[in-house]
Structure 1
Amino acid sequence: MAFPSLPRRSAWRGAAAGLAALALVVGGATAATAEAPAGRPAEVGDPPTGTSLPTLIMSPLEPVLGDSADDVSVGVVVRNPGDEPIPAGELRVELNPQRVETIAGLDEEFPVSGELLAESAIGSTAAESEQSVTVTIAREDLPLTALIAPGVYQLRATLTPESGTAPVIPEVTGDPGSDPEAAEAGDSATAETDALRSAAVPFVWRESGGSDVEVSVIVPLVLPTDIRTLPTRDQLSDLVPRLDRLLTAATAQRATLAIDPRIIAGIRAYGDEAPLLAQRFLSRLESSSLPGFLLQFADADPAAQAALGFTTLLEPTNLDFVSRFGVEPAQEPADELPDEPADDPAEDDTVPTVLPTLSELLAWSEEAPTAWPAEGAVDEGTLQLLEANGISDVVLTSDNVTQEGGPRVTLGRSDALVTDARLGAAARRALAAPNDTERAAAVSEIAARLALAAETDVPGVILGLDRGAIADAENPEQLLEDIGDLDWVAATPHTEQATGTASLKSADTLEERRELLRTAVNREGAVDEVGAILIHPEYLSGYQRTRLLDLFATRYAASDADFPAVATTFRMRDAELMEGVRAVSTEHTQLVGASTRVPVQLRNSLPFEALVSVRVDPASAALTVPERSFADVRVRPEGTEQLLVPVQSRVSSGESGLVVSIADVSGDWTIFTGTLSITIRSGVETIAIWTLGGLAALLLGFGIWRSVRRRRHRRRAPELTAA
């Protein structure tokens, strides 16, 4: 049985803090990827910033091998992010002839020497580059025959540098994320051997023996990470076909849907102006027979909110900043939302007073409210917060609990679905894989783990697909199809899974993330206050709360997610919003003459149209400003407006300025006060003008005199000739 191998985007389980020194990553069941400590699996994503250790990835391109006469292809990727080249060497592919009997057996060390299947020379890998090769194993060289028991076996790739070159990757075996002691040993490993070794990569020989394993999949329907509020209509047009394919695959797998409410609200907000494909998709989603539940808005993390001491879950305040686009079908408002700020000032004049309510935009029928906090971060405080908000069903990962029996358990007064953390990590790598080899390695591990679950009569398995990885995957439905193609997998709704018992393990959110979130929450009021200068103040409060909920998203919960960088970008945007409308100062303004009109530029940093009152006062007695107040000045979103302020000078020269104050239309709240410097040169300019005028008069008089004289000379010329 073969799995189609399609290109995929980035595939790493990023190394967690303290394990970054682990050098070798292989996308197999016992791949040498460092997982986060304390039971928190690392998120998919690029390697942590600053990682410069080489990476070796190997996998059979068909994770399930059969009795066919075809040769076996093994893909190998050597990735070198460092500053020095990896020397050329010899690549060996070996087989462990011992069959893996249990899931725990995947973590056992590969024998010192396996059966050699193939050898191949591989050239050096330049700094900051990678190379991919394919090693072909002749079918007759593969010591697996019909007489060999079907099941899970392991391959290993070994890259040995040329003689005389120093090894560049320490040997790593097993999965350090599953055993702290093994992780510590792997982290301190030294390159005392001449070989650069990968960990074992599992595959399934023929088909699994034993009965089928019941597998339930939780499929998130979420927005891509680059959408921070709600999607524009253009983004919906691009996004919906992928979501529709994913819904089709989920239906075939009898999966459970976990839906970001932004998808539902984002389509409804545009009303008849929403793309037709989006409207049809929403209708299909509403009529789907699949079990499902709504995630918290923007997939915000309840565990982080509990850690901050919240007594109620964060919710959006309004979505009027988007729904205003959908209430006037005859208009053609700009598609851009404040994520990429744009607005049409004229729209604010025509927006009806009645917009869809928040409850109308978010209305959804679900069997029971369910929460899905960040992986491995749930504690008693999280469950208490959820219970206080009427949520008694929760999705947990197996590394967050001690579990026995089936994956449906009870924790106090809460019912929980327990997803398999290691299976989920493999699925994460498959969704984000950047090439065929890494994707095949991840799918191979999934196939092996499910085959061993079937052989050992595991009561049932729940696979929760990673929300961050599936959000940006190009073809996430392919993974569901791959799982459905496994003969030993029985697609099962989660409601039919066996029950078991479980107790919570100690867990917590990352301290740095908590403090950055706390700071962002504390800034929300300051940002909302700026809405006083808007024509529609509620737009800014709804926009800011939506941004804040996205900052709480579970995809930022892992230790390798570089949340500080995300929080920095969020803080910088907050600073822009809090600037509101300001007077933009030019480098130097000169006052020419005793009276003129001085241009004052008003800059609106907000993504919505502002309506302000402006007062301009002289900074000193050297100037007078006949007209000082300018009421109801409109400034377009992310744009500028120019005021011409009449100014008169009382002195011939000097330095002064204009004090510009910008407030809301009532004048009760001032957002900006600043001074625009002005240099007065009216006396000098007057003298220069009179001087130039006098010179012009003299030149004109001299020209007239010469002209008269020439004419007289011409009249007298004939008389002189006759004489």
Structure 2
Amino acid sequence: MTATSPTSLRPRARRLARAFAAGLVAAVAAASLVVASPAFAADPTPSPSPTHLSGKATLTLSPVGGGVVQQDAGLPVYVTLDNGTATANDGGAITLAAGSQPLANRAALAAWMSGSRDGVQLEDMTTSSMPPVASGGSNPVLLEVPQAQTQRAPGVYPLLATVAAPGGPLSSPSVMIVPDPAQPQATVAVVVPVTAGPLSAGMLTSDQLATMTAADGELSTELDAVAGTGAILAVDPAIPAAIRALGSAAPPEATAWLERLMTLSNQRFALQFGDADIAAQVNAGHASLVTPLELTSFLDPVNFTADAGAATPTPTPSASGLPDMHTLTDIGTAVPNVYWPFSGTANSKVLTTLNNADRSAITLVGSSSTTQGADNATEAAHATIDDAHALVYDSTISTALGQASVTPDQQHRGNALADATANLVFAGKDAAGAPLLVTVDRSGLPNGEGLRAAIETALNGALNANFATLASATVHTATFGTTEPDSARTAALVSLQTDEDALHNFASILDVPAVLAGPERAQILQLIGGGWLPDTAGWTAALAAHRVQTAKTLDSVRILAPSELLIVSSGADLRFWVRNDLPWPVNVTLYASPDSPKLVVQPTTDVRGSAASNTRVVVPVRARVGNGEVSISLSLRSPTGVAIGTPQTANVNVRADWEGFGIAGLAVLVIAFFGIGVFRMLRRRRRTQRAGDETADAAGEQMDAGDPADAGDPADAGEPVDAGEPATPEPSAVESVDDVPASTDQVHPAPVPEENET
């Protein structure tokens, strides 16, 4: 090991000290920021949502065990005060009273439960006190009806709980049932919906399925509640379809849930996809029920390859390797052609339409919709209405069971269960052995314990019946009473299908229109589903959101607004842009039409728009003679001629004459430059020739001055010259300037000898 000197450690120590100090300062600064600015600190425990206040205080009397008095025992009951006001309730004295005589029939029972006190004599049985209840709070108090008071003659006895609160007395009615051992067992069939609650999307997502099929999820609690009972299941086929559509990517919890559903021994039938509103479809004018389109857009082929695993229990897929509609929506061995309109919506039109579309149809009809079932009267299950086969279920009992199924706690649930039990006692006597049908009516997603309690209440002490039992029973003829159609739901469906028609036409721009049309149909069926019945406000908001999304989709392919354009030539290419927000390529045709003959535009241009992008479109144009403003109308159409997007207008400033003016001006300039060049060349030649002439003249003069012929012959020098006759010179040897030799040597005359020279 190499030793390190103390000197070498000092710089390192100083660096570590500086780093530690910097870190400490940063930590202190961060801590001070957290303290000074708590709004920016993450809160691991979010504040609970404020409790919704109803604005009033209510009292609920809930007998335990459905109000049935056990032999030689008292009856425990819950008295619960719910304070929905903004101030605390001080509570008060509780009084529990019972009727001295049993109720006579179902009509008297209905009147008592609705608040009527006519003809009922009450006797106080026990008292207690209600503690103060804070705003938004709930306080249950458990009381015991003494055994001495419960041991009475068989029958259904009225119960009443009263709290003498400072703001005024509060009361709640219920019943106590003393069983009659001599009464024959009733035969009862109970139908339980297996649904996923309100949805605005076409199908459940993977995350939703994982949550709802977990051990404590809503769908799991539904199967827990029906397992081991004789309940008939009304299954929404959209649930198994959502699981199978994920293939090998389905959550393990969902796969296990589906396998469990398929192996349950309960008799079952399929609801319409999404538990869609049957009556709304008929009232909207449909001769047959709306069915889902292909669900291929929900399928990923990667999840259905040979090596993707076979975790999801599905029948054999289609030849394409992807499951078809029948495979996706399979719920197991089911009774076919069973239809269940929402309670109170069935009428002659609905039943006749279903029967005309399917002669083997079996329609479930609530007794409140028939004349025979009015005023809470009992009606046997097997009936014919308007020559159509129907199964009539008891509306009052079904409503009470539905309320109990969604109530999470016993102190509130017991009131509805006691109501259902008392009605079943009367109905069993009235039916005289004929099978009865009840349902756990659609009231929202059920609570597991509540649903189980509702099923057990319906079948408690009764013989369990199924479809075969009901169909084999004696049939009676029933008639419909006056049932007003639900105009709001009908209008909503008409509006949804108007949008669907627009989307169907719009989808013609896609290579595979089903990728848009299929999910839209599924969404419509979900939006008119029974899950929305208890939530009118949420349903209205979902419809509005769907309309906004539809408008956005219809505007997802459009022409971008063009800028001002200028054309200065006889021919040009105009460029426009087509925006596609869809995740698929589109096929459209751009139509262009000018409002002036000054511009000739190519009328149509086919466009292949890329997915989620802008695509440039080049449109050739040709300008005619003339200038001015021209507007070009631009629009898009699908291959089938459907208008796509919003038309646009391109404003074009045509200045095509500038091209002619420019060419003419250029020609003038070229000619001018050429002429100037020729002129300058000629002038240069003339100057050159003139200079040559002057040179030649100078040379000639020199030659004339030095020629001996010009000086006379020396032999004649002594002869006098005739002054009157001019001298005629001899012809020169050079005729013209052109004959001058090119040499620069001068020709000089010979010198004259001087006189003294010999």
TM > 0.5: yes
Q: Are 2:417 and 2:454, in contact at CA under 8 Å, matched by a contact in 1?
A: no
Structure 2 match to 1:95: 97
Task: Choose which of 431, 447, 464 in structure 1 pairs with 2:439.
Answer: 464
Letter in 2 for 1:135: V
Task: Choose which of 488, 491, 494 in structure 2 pairs with 1:512.
Answer: 488
Letter in 2 for 1:357: D
* Residue aligned with 1:114, SS: strand
Instruction: State the Cα distance separating 1:422 from its structure 2 match.
Output: 0.8
* Residue aligned with 1:467, SS: coil
Instruction: State the Cα distance separating 1:282 from its structure 2 match.
Output: 4.0
CA distance in 1, matches of 2:279, 2:491: 14
* Residue aligned with 2:610, SS: strand
Instruction: State the Cα distance separating 1:113 from its structure 2 match.
Output: 4.8
CA offset digits 1:585-632 (Å, max 9, x no partner): 89x99xxxxxxxx9989462x5x4343669899x99xxxxxxx99954
* Residue aligned with 1:56, SS: strand
Instruction: State the Cα distance separating 1:542 from its structure 2 match.
Output: 1.0
C-alpha spacing 1:560/1:359, structure 2 compared with 1 (3 Å):
closer
Task: Choose which of 212, 215, 221 in structure 1 pairs with 2:194.
Answer: 221
C-alpha spacing 1:368/1:482, structure 2 compared with 1 (3 Å):
closer
Task: Choose which of 372, 377, 381 in structure 1 pairs with 2:349.
Answer: 381
Structure 1: segments with no counterpart, 5+ residues = 1-48, 166-193, 333-351, 590-597, 621-627, 647-655, 679-723
CA distance in 1, matches of 2:386, 2:523: 34
Structure 2 match to 1:396: 365
CA distance in 2, matches of 1:568, 1:143: 57
Structure 1 match to 2:211: 238
Q: Are 2:443 and 2:533, in contact at CA under 8 Å, matched by a contact in 1?
A: no
C-alpha spacing 1:143/1:251, structure 2 compared with 1 (3 Å):
closer
CA offset digits 1:406-441 (Å, max 9, x no partner): 312222432222111111111121122254422222
C-alpha spacing 1:290/1:87, structure 2 compared with 1 (3 Å):
closer
Letter in 1 for 2:285: G
CA distance in 2, matches of 1:553, 1:510: 14
Q: Which moved further from structure 2: 440-449 or 536-545?
A: 440-449
C-alpha spacing 1:77/1:195, structure 2 compared with 1 (3 Å):
closer
Instruction: State the Cα distance separating 1:115 from its structure 2 match.
Output: 0.6
CA distance in 2, matches of 1:78, 1:279: 41
CA distance in 2, matches of 1:473, 1:578: 40
1:55 and 2:58 matched: yes
Instruction: State the Cα distance separating 1:156 from its structure 2 match.
Output: 1.7
TM-score between both structures, scaled by the size of structure 1: 0.64
* Residue aligned with 2:188, SS: strand
Task: Choose which of 348, 357, 360 in structure 1 pairs with 2:324.
Answer: 357
Structure 1 match to 2:81: 77
TM-score between both structures, scaled by the size of structure 2: 0.61
The structure where helix makes up a greater share of residues is 2
CA offset digits 1:236-272 (Å, max 9, x no partner): 3333455455345435222222122212333333344
Structure 2 match to 1:188: none
Letter in 1 for 2:343: E
Letter in 2 for 1:421: S
CA distance in 2, matches of 1:677, 1:251: 68
1:570 and 2:546 matched: yes
Task: Choose which of 462, 487, 498 in structure 2 pairs with 1:522.
Answer: 498
Percent identity (aligned): 21
Structure 1 match to 2:340: 372
Instruction: State the Cα distance separating 1:55 from its structure 2 match.
Output: 3.2
Q: Which moved further from structure 2: 559-568 or 315-324?
A: 559-568
CA distance in 1, matches of 2:200, 2:539: 17
1:450 and 2:454 matched: no
CA distance in 1, matches of 2:302, 2:178: 56
CA distance in 2, matches of 1:196, 1:146: 24
Structure showing greater radius of gyration is 2
C-alpha spacing 1:92/1:433, structure 2 compared with 1 (3 Å):
same
Q: Which has the higher contact order (CA 8 A, sep 6+)?
A: 1
* Residue aligned with 1:312, SS: coil
C-alpha spacing 1:319/1:158, structure 2 compared with 1 (3 Å):
same
Task: Choose which of 94, 105, 109 in structure 1 pairs with 2:108.
Answer: 105
CA distance in 1, matches of 2:228, 2:487: 41
* 1:291-310 mapped onto 2 (5 Å cutoff): 291-310=267-286
Instruction: State the Cα distance separating 1:508 from its structure 2 match.
Output: 2.9
Q: Are 1:300 and 1:549, in contact at CA under 8 Å, matched by a contact in 2?
A: yes
Query: What's the Cα RMSD here?
Result: 4.9
Letter in 1 for 2:268: G
Instruction: State the Cα distance separating 1:584 from its structure 2 match.
Output: 7.5
Letter in 1 for 2:328: L
Structure 2 match to 1:491: 464
CA distance in 2, matches of 1:642, 1:77: 63
Structure 2 match to 1:691: none
Letter in 1 for 2:186: V
Structure 1 match to 2:755: none
Letter in 1 for 2:84: N
CA distance in 2, matches of 1:645, 1:75: 75
CA distance in 1, matches of 2:247, 2:362: 32
Structure 2 match to 1:196: 170
C-alpha spacing 1:426/1:54, structure 2 compared with 1 (3 Å):
same
Instruction: State the Cα distance separating 1:386 from its structure 2 match.
Output: 0.8
| Count of residue pairs brought into register by the alignment | 556
